[in-house]
Amino acid sequence: MSETPPYTPPARRPPPTIWQRTTYRWTAITAVMAALLLLYTQHPYYLGQQFAPWRPLYTAAFVGWLAIGLFYVKATLQKFKGLRYAMRDGGLHLLILAKRSYRDVLSALEWRIVGGLVVATLLLALLRSDSLGVGPLRRLAQLARHEAGGVAQFLLPLSAVILVARGLRPREAWRRIKNPRVRTTVLAIAVKGFFTPLMTGFFSGHANAIADAWMRHKNLPPFKFTVPKGPAWEQAAAWWGYVKQRLPDFVPHASDFSGLLSPSTWTHADMNWGLGLAYDVVFFVDCGWALIGYASESRWLGNKTRSVEPTGFGWVVCLACYPPYNNVLGTYLPLESGVARITNPTTLLYIRLATVLLFTIYSTATVAFGFKFSNLTNRGITSRGPYRFVRHPAYLCKCTAWWLEHIPTITLTKAFFLTLLCGVYALRAWTEERHLSKDPEYLAYKRKVPWILIPGVY
């Protein structure tokens, strides 16, 4: 009898190299950023003037990511190599989801076809939107804007969707997305994708208002820059050209401060101008800091997302406070100005001063988060600034400021609707409490700061 050969275990695959891990993560993140670029440059909502500053900014950020993102991911993996498989790693979640989908849904050849269709759709969309229509690409952009280009822009993604749909297993896909860690990553991307463009628009709006107020103080033409239609780079160049042209107007002179440094000469108009400027500065800081928080999630900053609001109700009450959904809220909770009941200029000035002070506290609550600020997410608990006294100081100050703003024209109907509007923010506080209370660190913070809105009361 011949002897049975000894069992030889199958050879293990060698572990992936640092460059392989880097490439996998970079590819997964790039795919998400490319999908968002397509959304921001094609969806009618994001083509409005409100998002005019965001479109060229995101296009530049995407190009920057293509240029240095690979090296950033590699440096991050090397710096935090002990945590490279930590399950808070959003890049890892995207990678796992992509790999499983790649293996289970379509064959390798079919995925290559889908990838080609997606790349072709993205390039065609960029050309048709003028985002890359400069230099040698201008002629190509003109061809892409032909009617045939519009048909191709419709058929290319449709073909990719049909091809992927053939291999989809809805129950299996839903099971993967329901995984708490993967769901956190997907929802965190949705939060960033929605709020970052909004904050950019708010930030640029208040920056323009500050510049305009300073021009009015110097009795110069107002600072009004409208982003022109055209390629992203031409938009950026037009903005810089306008700013460079008006830059000498911004330079302060001694005469600009002569009246400001003499309070005895201030008129009510001067004080209203100053409070209006202070209001815009407060929200310039608030929106700018919020924008940094949304756009800067990184292990280097220690602000990775721990969890995202898990309930649909929590999302509804939060999104109802922001465009475009707050238009619906404003329709059902109208706060139109009625007949003025307080007309004394000095009293109105004190009311406005109190309002600006409340909004200042509201802004410091945003800054207190540092790089961790983000709606609907838990990226770390803060107990600094106003959060030393109550757990939701921003909502308290915002709602109180709204009441002060509307006191001069208050009516019973307006008071009723204003109460309901503040009730929406109370619901936001309740859903946030329910969400954050799953974090032991927040439970410790609750024991330290027992008051939700009003110290010593509630």
Model confidence pLDDT, tens digit, residues 48-81: 888 888 988 898 899 999 999 999 999 988 888 7
Q: For residue 174, is pLDDT > 70?
A: no
pLDDT score of 318:
94
How far is CA 199 from its chain centroid? 6
| Sign of the Cα pseudo-torsion (184, 185, 188, 193, in order) | negative
**Token pair recorded at residue 380:** 């770390």
Q: With pLDDT > 70 as the criterion, what percentage of the chain qualifies? A: 77
Instruction: For residue 286, name the pLDDT band (cuts at 50, 70, 90).
Output: very high
pLDDT in tens, 223-270: 776 666 666 667 777 777 888 888 888 787 777 676 666 777 778 788
Strand partners, 308: 377
Residue 284 contacts residue 207 (beta carbons within 8 Å) = yes
- How would residue 184 be classed by pLDDT, with cut points 50, 70 and 90? confident
- Cβ count within 10 A of residue 219: 6
pLDDT at 93 over 70: no
Which residue(s) pair with 307 in the sheet?
A: 378
Short-list 301, 294, 296, CA closest to 79: 301
Read off the pLDDT band of 87 (50, 70, 90): very low
Q: What share of the chain in percent tops pLDDT 90?
A: 34
Per-residue model confidence as pLDDT tens digits over 294-349 = 998 888 888 888 899 999 999 999 999 999 888 877 777 777 777 888 888 889 99
Which candidate, 112, 138, 147, 141, places its Cα nearest to that of 127? 141
Write down the pTM of the prediction. 0.80
Rounded to whole angstroms, the Cα distance separating 125 from 144 reads 9
Q: What share of the chain is helix, strand, coil (3-state, %, to 5)?
A: 70, 0, 25
Q: Span 270-275, mean pLDDT?
A: 86
Say if CB 317 and CB 424 are below 8 A apart: yes
Residue 86's Cβ-side half-sphere holds a number of Cα atoms within 13 Å equal to: 14
**Confidence at residue 229, expressed as pLDDT on a 0 to 100 scale:** 67
> What's the chain's Rg over C-alpha atoms?
27
**377-378 and 307-308 strand pairing:** antiparallel
- Listed ranges 111-115, 241-245, 413-417; the one with the highest mean pLDDT: 413-417
Q: Read off the pLDDT of residues 353-403 as tens digits, 9 standing for 90 and up.
A: 999 999 999 999 999 999 999 999 999 899 999 999 999 999 999 999 999
User: Span 421-431, mean pLDDT?
Assistant: 94
Q: What is the mean pLDDT of the chain?
A: 81
Question: How is residue 389 annotated by DSSP?
Answer: T
Distance CA 194, CA 187 (A): 11
